[in-house]
């Protein structure tokens, strides 16, 4: 009987062990299945999130590069207007026609090429050319930077008389013999020939009736030994004045050429009487300068025109504007 009981007990324990093993195995299987399910759900969630982000990104406007064209222009009133009118003439912007030669960037009515303008001191424009797509530069500064306005510019204005470069003096001195002698020398055929031979269209003489360099109404003997002082920008004005200097030297008159690289001091020193005359600007600029500064400097002769040009910086063609 003990044997029978022992056998039954052993059978019971064996059966319990098998059940426990099955339970643990089943529990282990369920745990793995749960982790797998969780990982699957997480992956699905991540995929869904990524897809959502892609959809959201697709809905946002994509940032593009190279859309803005940067052009540097002179920052003084009249030359800024002149630059804008050149770009208008070339068809890249539309300027309010009522603004005329006093136009600023605020007068731009249409800007289809999304041009961003940098207003820079005229003398510095050649220096910033490498940092912008294009720059509109006065010919005197272009020449000084070894740029040929005719060959190197991508667009150039015509020889508009409104922008002729003038000989200017303090009001009241227009008819003195010293100024008349200087005027005659600058309006000489020698100066016309020098301009035509040396600037290849980058500087254009506008003197209609050139003289022999002298004014018959002047007593040159009375002027013998006198010195005439004149303020001028280095290129091309001081170069052109070297021809006038030789003409005056024939009458024992000294022309003392003072070179300036800015657009302010040449008018100030003439207005103060420190210098007899200047030669660097056009009439619209002078009129604006007098109005803003209360100076009294006047034009006595128009000698030449320097066409304003559009030059390539980062861009070497006009493709970015077409």
Q: Tell me: the pLDDT tens digits for 6-56?
A: 344 334 433 444 334 343 333 333 333 344 444 444 444 444 444 444 444
Structure confidence by residue, pLDDT tens digits, 249-292: 999 999 999 999 999 999 999 999 999 999 999 999 999 999 99
Query: Taking the CB of residue 101, how many other CB atoms lie within 10 A of it?
Result: 21
Q: Give the Cα separation of 193 and 8 in Å (integer).
A: 136
More confident: 198 or 49:
198
Q: Was domain 69-158+309-321 assigned CATH 3.40.190.10? A: yes
| pLDDT of amino acid 250 | 98
Percent over 70 (pLDDT), the chain: 79
Going from N- to C-terminal start, the domains of the chain cover: 69-158+309-321, 161-305
As a whole number of Å, the end-to-end CA separation of the chain is 112
* Assigned CATH class of 161-305: alpha beta
Q: State whether residue 94 is helix, strand or coil.
A: strand
Helix axes 189-198 and 239-249, enclosed angle (nearest 10): 150
Average pLDDT over residues 105-119: 97
Mean pLDDT of the chain: 84
Does residue 220 surpass a pLDDT of 80?
Answer: yes
Q: What Å distances lie between residue 117 and 69, 100, 108, 278, 310, CA to CA?
A: 8, 18, 11, 31, 13
Does residue 240 surpass a pLDDT of 90?
Answer: yes
């Amino acid at each position: 009987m003990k044997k029978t009981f022992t056998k039954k007990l052993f059978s019971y324990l064996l059966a319990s062990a098998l059940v426990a093993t099955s339970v643990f195995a089943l529990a282990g299987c369920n745990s793995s299945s749960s982790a797998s399910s969780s990982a699957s759900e997480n992956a699905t969630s991540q995929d869904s999130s990524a897809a959502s982000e892609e959809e959201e990104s697709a809905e946002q406007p994509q940032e593009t590069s190279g859309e803005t064209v940067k052009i540097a222009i002179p920052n003084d009133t009249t030359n800024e207007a002149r630059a804008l009118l050149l770009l208008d003439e070339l068809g890249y912007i539309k300027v309010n026609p009522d603004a005329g030669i006093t136009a600023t960037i605020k007068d731009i009515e249409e800007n289809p090429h999304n041009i961003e303008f940098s207003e820079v001191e005229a003398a510095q424009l050649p220096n910033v050319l490498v940092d912008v797509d294009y720059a509109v530069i006065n010919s005197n500064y272009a020449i000084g930077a070894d740029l040929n306005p005719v060959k190197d510019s991508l667009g150039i204005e015509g020889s508009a008389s409104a922008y002729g470069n003038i000989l200017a003096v303090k009001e009241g001195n227009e008819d003195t013999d010293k100024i008349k002698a200087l005027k005659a020398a600058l309006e000489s055929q020698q100066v016309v020939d020098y301009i035509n031979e040396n600037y290849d269209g980058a500087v254009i003489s506008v003197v209609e009736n050139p003289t022999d360099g002298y004014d018959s109404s002047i007593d040159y003997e009375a002027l013998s030994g006198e010195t005439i002082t004149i303020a001028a920008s280095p290129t091309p004005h001081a170069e052109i004045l070297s021809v006038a200097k030789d003409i005056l030297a024939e009458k024992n008159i000294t022309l003392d050429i003072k070179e300036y690289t800015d657009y302010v001091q040449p008018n100030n020193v003439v207005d103060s009487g420190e210098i007899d005359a200047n030669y660097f600007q056009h009439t619209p600029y002078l009129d604006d300068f007098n109005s803003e500064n209360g100076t009294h400097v006047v034009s006595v002769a128009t000698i030449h025109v320097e066409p304003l040009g559009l030059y390539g910086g980062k861009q070497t063609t006009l493709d970015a504007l077409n």
